[in-house]
Amino acid sequence: MRSAFRLLGAGETTPGSLRRPPAQMNRMLTVLACSSMLIGTQDMWNRTVINEHNHAIVVMLYYGSIIVLGVLGLSVRTRRAMTIVDGSVLAVAALECVNRFYTVTAAKPPATANSTHVYYGTDEGSLIHMAAKTLLHGGHIYGTQWPQIFQMFHVGTTPLMNGGAATGLDYPPLGPIFTSVPMALGLSHPPAGIAATAMLVLASLVMFLLLPVAWRPVAVIVCYGFGWLPNYAEMGYPGCMELPFLLVVVAYWQRTGRGGRLGRWGVVQAACLGIACCLHQLTWFLAPFLVVGMFMIRRGEMPARDAARVVGRYVAITAGVALVINLPFILQGPKPWLQGVLAPMLQKAIPSGQGLVGISYYFRSGSGDLSLYSDAGLLLGRRCCCCSWCSRGGWGWLSR
């Protein structure tokens, strides 16, 4: 474990170094973190100052704490004191994130005959919620559709090219598993939001510990500054749940497998990559680049066979962890499971943005023939690639 402590920056906090003046970069980042926290709570102040005076008082205390911590960040004289200030900034930001979640979710309107008192801002959190509920009742979370989420949670749809909408679980199974914990405890607030917010707080702590001492305020800026990630966590977005595991995976990844051995830290990183793969498909696109980069670095230090062996052990641990988590759902139904986890790549959701697709969908209420836009784009690309006139520079006049 000594190598892990070195990664966490323990070597930078010797008794002699703690009495030295803080780095100017550390002071600058601490003030920037405080500024981002002030900007990120502007909407909270506007939300609470009129009707929720108790929460407004909490926001006022939060503002005062930020100002005090910002002044201390500019005035403390030792690195030990600066570390305490940075830790306090992180703690205050985490408490405000929890207060934000409670305030936003508690301010929702009461339930009606066709709705529930649990609300989400997007259909992602709603689908995770329904999957967790189905999981607790012993049902199958893949292959089950929940079209009632749009009336229950008052969320928008994810429109598909065939004119329908996504009403099933389109994510790996660990998000509903995490969500089922607060749901089983009977917590009244959105359980998917609770799980995502808790993982965001954990991610901030992990980033704070993994960063070099002078760079630790970056954890506050990234996780809490400007209020972006807390807003996603409130909606139960599963991407927030994978953050602490991805942070462990990418922290000093270039050292993984050095000397031909994974070591304990390398095994932990591989296991965290397997867990992250079971939370969101974003990790699937990161993993190949990570593995190839790891092999290339190790290939520069040792023969290709040894580099492939250590990277192979890393991949085997990752795949084993992912298989263990997914195995119960694979046994329930391999085809529904495969269709569910691959849905973001195969379901042909309508892309967001501006263009002809948006005109057809938003102005004319959609169509089952929107996939023709994709077919037209493929035909145009194929035509341009195969056109001999283009290959001879027929469009060269455009560059003149």
Sign of CA dihedral 235, 236, 237, 239: positive
To 5 degrees, how large is the angle CA 85–CA 244–CA 120? 100
Cβ-contact 223, 207 below 8 angstroms: yes
The reply to whether 102 falls in a domain is: yes
Residue 222 falls within a domain, yes or no?
Answer: yes
Residue 350 DSSP code: P
Locate 329 and state its tokens.
């759902």
Residue 389 covered by a domain: no
The model carries a pTM of 0.83
Number of domains in the chain: 1
6: left (phi over 0), alpha (psi -120 to 50) or beta: alpha
Backbone torsion region of residue 163, taken as left when φ is above 0, otherwise alpha when ψ lies between -120 and 50, otherwise beta:
left
CA angle 172, 270, 175 (to 5 degrees): 20
| DSSP state letters, 107-170 | TSPPP-TT--S---SSHHHHHHHHHHHHHHTT--SSS-B-TTHHHHS-----BBTTS-B--B--
Q: What is the dihedral of CA 186, 190, 191, 193, to 10 degrees?
A: -150
CA-to-CA dists, residue 321 to 119, 246, 269, 279, 280, angstroms = 33, 15, 11, 12, 15
Q: Which domain holds residue 209?
A: 1-114+191-232
- Backbone torsion region of residue 119, taken as left when φ is above 0, otherwise alpha when ψ lies between -120 and 50, otherwise beta: beta
Question: What single string gives the DSSP state of each residue in 258-300?
Answer: GGG--HHHHHHHHHHHHHHHTT-THHHHHHHHHHHHHHHHHHT
Q: Which residue is associated with the tokens 């474990």?
A: 1
Tell me how far apart the alpha carbons of residues 252 and 32 are, in angstroms, rounded to a whole number: 25
Instruction: Tell me whether residue 136 is in a domain.
Output: no
83 falls within a domain: yes
Instruction: Report pLDDT for 17.
Output: 67
- How many helices, marked H, and strands, marked E, lie in the chain? 21, 0
Average pLDDT, consecutive stretches of 10 residues, N- to C-terminus, the chain (400 residues): 46 62 90 89 76 78 91 91 94 90 65 53 87 92 89 79 82 94 86 92 95 93 88 89 95 90 93 95 93 92 91 96 95 92 82 69 66 77 58 45
Number of CB atoms found within 10 A of residue 335's CB: 10
The one-letter code for the residue type at 383 is R
Residue 160 backbone dihedrals phi, psi, to 5 degrees: -110, 160
105 domain residue, yes or no: yes
In a domain, 198, yes or no: yes
234-256: string of b/e by CB count within 10 Å (b at 16+)?
bbbbbbbbbbbbbbbbebebebb
For the chain, the residue count is: 400
